[in-house]
Amino acid sequence: MIEALLAALGAWETWAAAAATAVAGLMRGYAGFGTAMILAPVYSVLWGPQAGVPVMLLMELIVSLQLLKLGLKDADRRVILPLGGAAAVGTPLGAYVLLAADPDILQRVIGALVLVFGFLLLSGWRYTGMRPLPLNLAVGTVSGLMKGATGMSGPPVILYLLAGPEDARRHRANLILFFALIAVISVVVPVLAGLVTWPVLLNFLLMLPILMGFVRIGASLFGVIPMRFYKPFALGVLLTSGSIALFG
Number of domains in the chain: 1
Mean pLDDT of 165-180: 80
Q: Can you give the pTM of this predicted structure?
A: 0.78
Q: Please, which pLDDT band fits residue 126 given cuts at 50, 70 and 90?
A: low
Whether 167 shows a pLDDT value over 80: the answer reads no
Kindly report, residue by residue over 85-104, the tens digit of the pLDDT.
Answer: 999 888 888 888 888 878 88
Give the percent of the chain with pLDDT over 70.
Answer: 89
Kindly report, residue by residue over 50-81, the tens digit of the pLDDT.
Answer: 889 899 989 988 888 877 877 777 888 888 89
pLDDT of residue 15: 94
Mean pLDDT of 6-31: 86
Q: List the domain range (segments joined by +) for residue 61.
A: 2-247
Kindly report, residue by residue over 193-238, the tens digit of the pLDDT.
Answer: 888 999 999 999 999 999 999 988 988 887 777 766 666 766 677 6
Per-position DSSP letters for the chain, written without gaps between them: -HHHHHHHHT-HHHHHHHHHHHHHHHHHHHHS--HHHHHHHHHHHHH-HHHHHHHHHHHHHHHHHHHHHHHHHH--HHHHHHHHHHHHHHHHHHHHHHHHS-HHHHHHHHHHHHHHHHHHHHHT----S---HHHHHHHHHHHHHHHHHHS--HHHHHHHHTTSS--HHHHHHHHHHHHHHHHHHHHHHHHHTT---HHHHHHHHHHHHHHHHHHHHHHHHTTTS-HHHHHHHHHHHHHHHHHHHHH-
